[in-house]
Amino acid sequence: MSTPDQVGTGSPLTARLQATTAALHELEHLVKSGDLDPRVLSEFRNAVDHIRDTAWAVQQWVGAREQSGDPYAVLPALAAQRVHRATQLAKDLSLDLQTVEVGVETEGLGDLYQAVDDLHRRLGPFFKRGLRRQAKI
C-alpha cells in the first residue's frame, strides 16, 4: 500500500496542488491585512469551503478504495456534504434576493427556479412519509 506522500508524487496535479497551497497561504496574509468587501470575502470563504469539501470527499473515496476496496461506502457522506452545501447556497441566494442583488435579469435564474422546483418535488415524498410515520406514533 502506498503512503499519501508516494501517491502521485511528481505528477502535474501534485505540482499544481502544491503551488495552489502556497498561493493560498500567501493570500491568507493579504486577507488578514487588507480592506475587503464583506460580500467578496463571504464568497471567497464559500469557495474555499467548497474546495475543502471536495478535497475531503476525494480523500475519503481514495481511503475507502484502499482500505475496503469499496469506495462507494463513502457515498452517503458525500451526499450529506452536498446537502449541506446546497443548504448554504440556498440561504445565501435568499439573502441576495432580499437585498435585490439577484433579480429577473440575473443570468441562470430560470434554470435555478426549475432545478429548485424539481428538487422540491423530489424531496416532498420524503417528508410526507415522515409526517405519516410521526402521526402513527
Q: Show Cβ contacts of residue 94 under 8 Å, excluding neighbours closer than 6 positions.
A: none
Whether residue 90 is contained in a domain is answered as: yes
Q: Residue 7: what pLDDT? A: 46
The answer to whether 50 and 85 are in contact (CB under 8 A) is yes
Q: Residue 4: what pLDDT? A: 45
Q: Residue 136: what pLDDT? A: 59
Measured distance CA(130)–CA(128) in Å, rounded: 5
Per-10-residue mean pLDDT for the chain, 137 residues long?
Answer: 48 92 91 84 87 86 83 83 89 87 87 95 85 58
On whether both 78 and 124 belong to a single domain, the answer is no
How many independent structural domains does the chain possess?
Answer: 2
Instruction: Output the pTM of the full model.
Output: 0.59
Whether residue 64 is contained in a domain is answered as: yes
Q: Residue 59: what pLDDT? A: 87
Q: Residue 32: what pLDDT? A: 86
DSSP states of 29-89: HHHHHS---HHHHHHHHHHHHHHHHHHHHHHHHHHHHHHTS-GGGGHHHHHHHHHHHHHHH
On whether both 30 and 61 belong to a single domain, the answer is yes
Whether residue 3 is contained in a domain is answered as: no
Q: Residue 76: what pLDDT? A: 87
Note down the domain range covering 67. 12-102
On whether both 121 and 70 belong to a single domain, the answer is no
Whether residue 2 is contained in a domain is answered as: no
Q: Which three cell numbers stand for residue 75?
A: 457515498
Tracing cell 497551497 back to the chain, one arrives at 21
